[in-house]
Structure 1
Amino acid sequence: MSNFSFWLSSDVCLRFTRPRSSTTAADASGEDVILKWGLLLVPLTTFCLGTWQVQRRKWKLDLIAQLASRISSEPIPLTLDPMELKELEYRPVKVRGHFDHSKELYILPRSLVDPEREAREARQLTSHPENGANVITPFYCTELGVTILVNRGFVPKKKLKPETRLKGQIEDEIDLTGVVRLSETRKPFVPENNIEKNRWHYRDLEAMAKVTGAEPIFIDADFKSTVPGGPIGGQTRVSLRNEHMQYIITWYGLCAATSFLWYRKFIQKIPL
């Protein structure tokens, strides 16, 4: 009787024990499958991001080419149509009129845009660009009958006050060529414009127009507008950041590395 009881209890234990280990193995196998295909998403995702950056780089190069072509095109008469102006940023325009130097505005801090100097300093470890401001002056267009805003160009800090550059404060009616610029929003970490102190840090055309009584139309005067003793024109920076190649290398590099690790782990079964 005791032997039968022992056999019965052993049989019951075996019956309950076998399914449990079988279930555990099945669960472990299922987890391995989920892990295997889940981790495959990493190289797939990085490959997609790298491919997306290839397309972004192509778009950016096309945009840079368009801007270069636009800024070098022949100047056209300035239009007052707001809808047309939105399509003319970086487009050269020509106007005739005279400045009102009594209402100068200053965008600062700024450094001189000089492509030749920047090309020389690009080969150096350090550079020391001179700080100053861009001088924004109302300009009455005699043919259009309106006052617009003109970025006459760069002046060093020591020449910020108009009385230090009287020779450059031209009073005659002149023909002026420049490129259309639109209003811009404040970027992160850029200070707010201080209207009371006449310290502007970004182009807020509505505010500038309100202060000077001009229309919210803004052009950067070209380098040819520079007069001895006055601001240096041609301060339009048209270069766009193009870091997409770095992103392409990064994403495709991660794709290659994670693909290799996945292959060793799940195909070759080599412990990592």
Structure 2
Amino acid sequence: MVAARLFSSLTRPLQGKAAPIGKSTLKWTAQLSSQLSPRRPISNSAPRAQRQPADDPGFTSILDNPPELVRTGRRHGPGLIILAIIPVTAFFLGTWQVQRLKWKTDLIAKCEDRIVRPPLPLPPRIDHEALADFDFRRVYIYGKFRHDQEMLVGPRMRDGEQGYMVVTPLEREGDPGATVLVNRGWISKKMADQKLRPESLPKGTVRVEGMLREPWKKNMFTPENRPDLAEFYFPDVKQMAALTGSQPVWVEQTMDPDYFQLLDNAAKGIPIGRPAEVNLRNNHAQYIFTWYGLAVATSIMFYMVVKKPPTDITKRVRMNKHW
């Protein structure tokens, strides 16, 4: 025990200066390394670098391609199909109106040629199926008016005044079966009663000069005739012929357009006949301009819709991978 205490007291001053074993080892290793010469490589040649794709002269990177601008979502809907059909349809309608214009021009020329010819006597028996080929042909007839079978068709307007067209059967002498329907002309509404216009009811045999015509047709707004009430809204030739025992032949009486005579006839209630002229409407040139104009306008609209650039909301950029 005395020896141990003596040894501890002799070595105590050296304990505070002792260094750790690990640190002493590291310090000694570093000193040794600094004294030794550096390690030489086994070979003096430089290491070979790995070949990169960019070293190829023909190499093209994806980043070198320009970006592609595309639309997002749905580009066009069914409305584009309808917009494409409109100009095609308008073009065909315009072409059809060109053919109609030629047909109407030829028809008016034929009718005007018939009007300038002198009137012919109307045969007693007429094939009503062939009347279309003699439309606007001037004729004259002798006979007696059946005023008891008079029919007023209307209302019809003339110079802003309301009135009626007077249709009276004309009975041929010696042949009641040869009776035809004569549209004598227009009278005002206030002269509808025969008692107010005695001068408009000629007696005996008269000579009527007029044109063979196809009367105007009923439209969707015209009501049906009511012959039981003597109400006729449009000239139904077959119906009127059956009521009066006449042939289904319609003759429109003509007169010279004398202004003072027209005023005198209107005051007396004498029917005012129509002038001998062609009054067929020919608006096909306007229709051609309308349909072809619509075809051009809608074609431009279709092109603008198809070629319209996308907006900032409907466009995005994607990488172009095609080279």
TM over 0.5: yes
For the pair 1:222 / 2:254, whether they are aligned, the reply is: yes
Given that 1:184 and 1:204 are in contact with CA atoms closer than 8 Å, whether structure 2 keeps it comes out as no
3-state secondary structure, aligned to 1:106: strand
Given that 2:111 and 2:135 are in contact with CA atoms closer than 8 Å, whether structure 1 keeps it comes out as no
Given that 2:213 and 2:252 are in contact with CA atoms closer than 8 Å, whether structure 1 keeps it comes out as yes
Q: Which residue of 1 aligns with 2:152?
A: 106
What displacement does 1:149 show?
Answer: 1.5
What displacement does 1:260 show?
Answer: 2.8
Q: Which runs of 5+ in 1 are unaligned?
A: 1-27, 113-127
Q: Which residue of 173, 180, 187 corresponds with 2:205?
A: 173
Given that 1:96 and 1:143 are in contact with CA atoms closer than 8 Å, whether structure 2 keeps it comes out as no
Inter-partner Cα distance in structure 1 for 2:171 and 2:92: 53
What displacement does 1:64 show?
Answer: 2.6
Deviates more, 1:174-183 or 1:221-230: 221-230
Given that 1:111 and 1:129 are in contact with CA atoms closer than 8 Å, whether structure 2 keeps it comes out as yes
Q: Which residue of 2 aligns with 1:66?
A: 110
**1:146-174 superposed Cα distances (whole Å, 9 cap, x missing partner):** 22211111110111111111022111312
Q: Which residue of 1 aligns with 2:283?
A: 243
What displacement does 1:135 show?
Answer: 0.9
Inter-partner Cα distance in structure 2 for 1:194 and 1:92: 31
The percentage of counterpart residues that share the same residue type is 36
**1:165-211 superposed Cα distances (whole Å, 9 cap, x missing partner):** 10221113122111113466532111111101211112222221222
Aligned length: 228
1:152 aligned partner, one-letter code: R
Q: CA RMSD in A?
A: 3.5
1:77 aligned partner, one-letter code: P
For the pair 1:132 / 2:163, whether they are aligned, the reply is: yes
Q: Which residue of 2 aligns with 1:150?
A: 182
What displacement does 1:132 show?
Answer: 0.6
Inter-partner Cα distance in structure 2 for 1:213 and 1:179: 21
For the pair 1:81 / 2:112, whether they are aligned, the reply is: no
Inter-partner Cα distance in structure 2 for 1:211 and 1:251: 45
3-state secondary structure, aligned to 2:229: coil
1:215 aligned partner, one-letter code: Q
Q: Which runs of 5+ in 2 are unaligned?
A: 1-71, 312-323
Please report the TM-score for the alignment, with normalisation by the length of structure 1. 0.69
What does residue range 260-271 of structure 1 map to in structure 2 within 5 Å? 260-264=300-304, 270-271=309-310
Given that 2:256 and 2:275 are in contact with CA atoms closer than 8 Å, whether structure 1 keeps it comes out as no
Please report the TM-score for the alignment, with normalisation by the length of structure 2. 0.60
Inter-partner Cα distance in structure 2 for 1:39 and 1:168: 60
For the pair 1:232 / 2:272, whether they are aligned, the reply is: yes
